[in-house]
Amino acid sequence: MWEYTDKVKEHFLNPRNVGEVENPDGVAEVGSIACGDALKLSFKLDENKRIREAKFKTFGCASAIASSSALTEIIKGMTLEEAAKVSNRDIAAYLGGLPDEKMHCSVMGKEALEKAIENYQGAPATEPGAKIVCECFGVTDREIERAVRENSLTTVEEVTNYTKAGGGCGKCHDAIQQIIERVRAELKPVTIPKMTNIQKMKMIEEALEREIRPSLKHDGGDIELIDVVGNRVIVATRGACASCKTSNITLKNFVEVKLRDLVSPDLIIEEVAP
């Protein structure tokens, strides 16, 4: 038995706004009977261009019906700009949460809303350039990308819970993994400060002078910055360091660590051939 919140149960047993709006301004149908759930959403705007009426018809499980009911309640009174910002997470949150395996019900609601708005605006019903990744459930790369992005998904299993993609024959698991990696890479916060090579050299030289040379000189050694190529910092060792057998350990464990800390986390120290 699924663990549903009282709110989900309540919206399943007493769904709001079941039916179809007469002469709707926007209408959309998503999902399919093969997939096990489908939702037909229709809405009508008032004179201020706010959603006056929203109705649904849903084929699906309790959480699909509850999600549809919640969606219609959420968007009533909103402008289309406001409605467009409603996410699947908002639908799930309205219901006090959904089981992980049922998150795709909230995603279906979001998709129907988006398509109904597009339908009103006269936009194409299908996303241009979208490619089907999961053939069992007809899920496109765009849909997977968006679910990964909006819900910070990290595993194929999570993608299946949210979009159903990969829940059938499993042939598309590799493709889904690649999409996850691609989107995660895009999402990675940019921690590396963007700077010119000159700025980088300056910062490295300053760090060497202030934090590194004093320690090396203490042992009778020294270091000289030769060049910076991308993230490669090319240096030459001087004095005692030049003849020290363990100087490369010092370079890696001390100099590189310091420079990564002070200048940029992607730096790699390389020593020029003597």
Binding site for another protein (CB under 8 A): 2, 9, 12-13, 15, 18, 20, 29, 33-40, 56-62, 64-65, 101, 136-137, 160, 164, 167-168
Report the nearest approach of another protein to the CB of residue 89 (Å): 21
Report the nearest approach of another protein to the CB of residue 168 (Å): 6
Active site (annotated) includes residue 105: yes
3-class secondary structure per residue, 186-228: HHCCCCCCCCCHHHHHHHHHHHHHHHHHHHHHHCCEEEEEEEE
Report the nearest approach of another protein to the CB of residue 206 (Å): 57
For 167, phi then psi, to 5°, come to -90, -5
59 vs 254 by CB, closer to another protein: 59
**Which residue type sits at 29?**
E
84 vs 136 by CB, closer to another protein: 136
- Which one is catalytic: 35, 134, 172, 241? 35
Say if residues 71 and 41 touch (Cβ distance below 8 Å): yes
169 vs 192 by CB, closer to another protein: 169
Helices (H), 86-172: 88-94, 103-121, 141-151, 156-163
Nearest alpha-carbon partner for 266 in 235, 223, 233 = 233
d(CA 53, CA 110): 17
61 vs 201 by CB, closer to another protein: 61
Report the nearest approach of another protein to the CB of residue 59 (Å): 4
Active site residues: 35, 105
